[in-house]
Chains A and B, each alone.
Chain A
Amino acid sequence: MWLVAGFGVCAIVSSVGWLATTSPPPGVQPRSRRAADAPPPTTTFLRDAAAWRIPIETRTLPNGLRVVVSEDRRAPLVTVNVVYGVGSRAEPPGRSGFAHFFEHLMFDGSSRTHAQNIHQLAGTFHGVTRRDYTSYLDAVPVEALDEILAIEARRMRTLTLTPAHVRRQREIVGEEFRQNVDNQPHGGLEWSAIHGLVFSRWPNAHPSLGTHADLDAVTAAEAERFHLDWYGPNNAVLVVAGAVTAGEVMTCAAAHFGAIAPRPTPAWPDASEPSVDGDALTGRHKVVRDALAERPAMAIGWAMPPEDSIDYRALVLAESLLLRDPALLASALARVDPAAAVRGGIHPLGLPYDVTAPTPFVLRVDHRRAEDGARLLQAVDEVMRRVAAEATEEDLVRAKTAFARWWLDEIDGGRPPFVSRTRLLGFYGLRDRAPDVNLLLTDTLATPLAAVRAAVGRWWTPARRHTLESHPAALSLPPPDPTATPDPTTTPAPMTAPKTAPKTNREMDAEEILAEAQS
């Protein structure tokens, strides 16, 4: 066989076949498989989707480490996700991007890198840093469970860093920043820069990837302190999904993590946004220039209500109505600019339910002509108004069906396997609510039409809309949006490191493109 043999404190016996078995794992509620052609399918589907459950077993070790297991034997694999209760919202001013930078250091601070370790196990890995958590995922053959838990326990226990580690990762994170932000037209507009307009408090408003200047200031000692503060077992959730039983995982987890002492965890900074609920909130409007862009784009953001509220769930369905099915926004914007493209959502880098408020609902609209910006915004407002006033039960069924299908794909699939399931279990596990993951879809699908209409009318209004327009540096600015309130405190400037000034031939290209688009 090609597999790494299991060894160590806990051997796992693989008993799965990739095609032969599909028995429901323990905890899965039996579903009805009605005659497939019995109409109407969506009614049955929504009922089945709402009743669908993943197996979830939880236990807490004496040192505070929460362990969550979701057994699924469809392939001889195991996905291990260690989710820590720290994210970019915890970064202090002057250290923007630190949580993400530290995530990189966690892959490097040993004699052999994590990549080399995982390559030996024929597995795959990745890390993500979000506003509220940081996740380290490894997907390996089930026989390697023991070894991968040993690796994760090792880096939870200690992290020895040298200035060389910090220097190397500073360069690599700098490259990531350039690749995703600096060197992209309108880079980070909708997932980073718009936060600075929607919110006013540092924890919510600062760019989560940071700035080059802030990253340059980080020291090895500071990073080791961060590890000590935030990476203790009592501030983490170990999630394991795959072809293992809860008993097997608990035995392994206790053996590898049980001896790690708990550590005091700092308090999170106050991230409340006093303005979010206030009636006086006025949407802000800002224009920036982008030297690399040749067509305009804009990010539009609205603050979301608290994540456990009925309004939040209602807006999750409204998002589906706008962007999935029947995708009201795309058709409305196409009437203004047939080439307009819209994307975004609630927490578009993750799931709508693995983030806490304050968080925005964001849209990114790319379009051809700068002067269409105001009309596109009006079209967005009009769609919101119509959803609030005219959405029908039929619309809602479409939205629920599209959302449920997408959600099931995320939670039951993913590459690497179970990536969303384990992240969500970890995020909820941090609040001792892992079993509630099974209720998220159920509760969302139970939301009535009246709640959806009311929530859209309350939250996604023109008055609460924040707009960040990004124009090619070479183009003249369009007339201002008559519906927006200009932000007098801000000067048009990129949120990120300044890009190189445009050169003559670029200006010519931009003009040509504009002329071509207008023709």
Chain B
Amino acid sequence: MIARTLAVGVALAAATLLPSPSPPTASTDRARAPQAARSFTLPNDLVVIAAPAGTAPRAFVQVSAPLVRGTDAASAPTGSSSAPAGALPVGIERSVQTRGGRVDVTWNGPADATSRMLELAAAWAWSWRAPQPASASAAPAGLARASSPASPEVGRATLLSMLSAPADERASTAASRPTPRGARLTVTGAIDVERVEWRARELFASWQAPAGATPVGDPVCPAPDESSLKVVRRPGSTQMTMWVGGAVATSSVDAATVDVVNVLVGGTPGSRLFRWLVEEHDYAYGPHSLIIRDGGCTILAVNADIRNAVARPAAAGIIALLDDLVQAPPDAADIDRAVRVVVQQGRMRRSSPRGLLDALALPDAPIAAPGELRAVTPARVAETVRRLLDPHRRAVALVGEPDVVQAIVDDVSARSGSPRGDVRHHERAVRRDAGRDAVR
């Protein structure tokens, strides 16, 4: 392995030193001229997008690649390579995120280091392997607030543990590697498009998919078949934290409709959740909903922190509001307004290099493109609402004062008990499970 990675490093170094077709010259005139974004596909199926954005002299390089496993065959050019890990050059930062069967790696640095970041990306692509997952009991690095058992934020982790793929399925990405087939290389910022194209072709054209490898793929979304309720007792809480959510397999819904549903439910201060909880009843400060795409699942999660004195009616109201949405889906005018909001959110996101990077680089970018949004229909919204907020497949996580959450448990059980009697009730102490969830 070491020999192979060393060889990749040598090959990359050689690629920068050996004679090659002349790069485009960077003239001041060209630097000043407007440059259009460019997208092309290399013979190995890698899609390259170079999108100039912003005037500040920095750049972003991102590789978003599917993961495969099942072979160790060298995919690097003849000779091959060295681990790209270790100290990064001054001014360059790197972040890595694995999501189901994909990995996204982003380098952020000075614009003049764009070529260097492309080299780092190429070295990473050839040599990276997903590490073995940490054991579930391992301590987190640093005392993140979310991992504190005494934090209300533990409610989010609890909801995710109820709705997303189990840890053993997530672990299936271990020892896998990225492949160019289905991958994207995206470069944004104050870049010279021609130079990026030339460099990308030079560095990535020979990146080959490992022969005989099989895609890791997303974990299977568990898509709960019954509703469930978990309680985290937190004595001394001044507020009750409530998370309500539903999940469907990401492959079974279109992102644009989900974005619209989110705006309607609680994604903006104009949403039903905000209006009812804040403007009509003064129950909460910042209730909201959000879309979480995690482990093959698309989750619509609703969150509110509510003072103890009104937690019970507020919780009942939130449940009723979600039920109402299922029974009486939004009309065309509501949907049209929500679509305009999502279009605007997309524009805002794409207005910065970092946001543009997200929108371009990730195939399931949270904010859909305008063309997709125009195809959203009331029927699709109704169907998506019904599936995501189905009261018989809904998960509820409560964190708070034991007496307060117990009263809500009684209410939710009574409400859901009659139609199908399928509320599964889990109660647990504040620390062990909660801490583990947060670590996971």
| Residue numbers in B under 8 Å from A340 (CB-CB) | 142-143
A88-124 interface code vs B (CB 8 A; 1 in, 0 out) = 0000000000000000000000000101101110111
Chain B nearest CB, measured from A169 CB (Å): 8
> For residue B284, which residue of chain A has the nearest CB?
A175
A74 CB–B CB distance under 8 Å: yes
B211 CB–A CB distance under 8 Å: no
| Residue numbers in B under 8 Å from A116 (CB-CB) | 270
Residue picked from A2, A22, A124, most chain B C-beta under 10 Å: A22
B237 CB–A CB distance under 8 Å: yes
Which one of A276-284, A429-437, A498-506 is at the interface? A498-506
Which one of B122-130, B166-174, B337-345 is at the interface? B337-345
| Residue numbers in B under 8 Å from A22 (CB-CB) | 34-35, 52-55
**CB within 8 Å of A: which of B254-284?**
268-270, 274-275, 278-279, 282-284
| Residue numbers in B under 8 Å from A512 (CB-CB) | 431
CB-CB under 8 A for A41 and B110, given A183-B305, A368-B143: yes
Which one of A261-269, A290-298, A305-313 is at the interface? A290-298
A50-78 interface code vs B (CB 8 A; 1 in, 0 out) = 00101000000000000000000011110
Measured between alpha carbons, how far is A398 from B401 in the docked complex, in Å?
A: 47
B239 pairs with A183, CB closer than 8 A: yes
Chain A nearest CB, measured from B260 CB (Å): 12
B47 CB–A CB distance under 8 Å: no
Chain B nearest CB, measured from A15 CB (Å): 13
> For residue B141, which residue of chain A has the nearest CB?
A339
A505 pairs with B143, CB closer than 8 A: no
> For residue B27, which residue of chain A has the nearest CB?
A33
Measured between alpha carbons, how far is A357 from B354 in the docked complex, in Å?
A: 32
Measured between alpha carbons, how far is A199 from B192 in the docked complex, in Å?
A: 50
Contact residue among A4, A42, A122, A509 (Cβ-Cβ distance under 8 Å from B91): A42
| Residue numbers in B under 8 Å from A119 (CB-CB) | 268-270, 337, 341
| Residue numbers in A under 8 Å from B90 (CB-CB) | 42, 325, 397-398, 401
A402 CB–B CB distance under 8 Å: yes
B285 pairs with A172, CB closer than 8 A: yes
B57 pairs with A31, CB closer than 8 A: yes
A415 pairs with B348, CB closer than 8 A: yes
A414 CB–B CB distance under 8 Å: yes
| Residue numbers in A under 8 Å from B430 (CB-CB) | 506, 509
Which one of A345-353, A403-411, A476-484 is at the interface? A403-411
Measured between alpha carbons, how far is A141 from B111 in the docked complex, in Å?
A: 29
Q: Which 6 A-B pairs have the closest CB atoms?
A: A119-B270, A413-B352, A45-B110, A36-B115, A115-B269, A171-B282
Add 8 more A-B contacts to A32-B31, A45-B91, A417-B352 (CB < 8 A).
A18-B350, A36-B112, A41-B110, A45-B113, A179-B285, A185-B150, A402-B91, A409-B56
B positions within 8 Å CB-CB of A: 16, 23, 26, 28, 30-37, 51-58, 89-91, 93, 108-116, 139-145, 148-152, 190, 192, 195, 199, 233-239, 241, 268-270, 274-275, 278-279, 282-286, 305-307, 337, 339-341, 343-345, 347-356, 370, 373-374, 401, 429-431
14 contacts between A and B (CB under 8 A): A2-B370, A18-B347, A42-B113, A74-B53, A115-B269, A171-B282, A171-B283, A175-B282, A175-B284, A185-B145, A185-B148, A340-B143, A401-B110, A405-B110
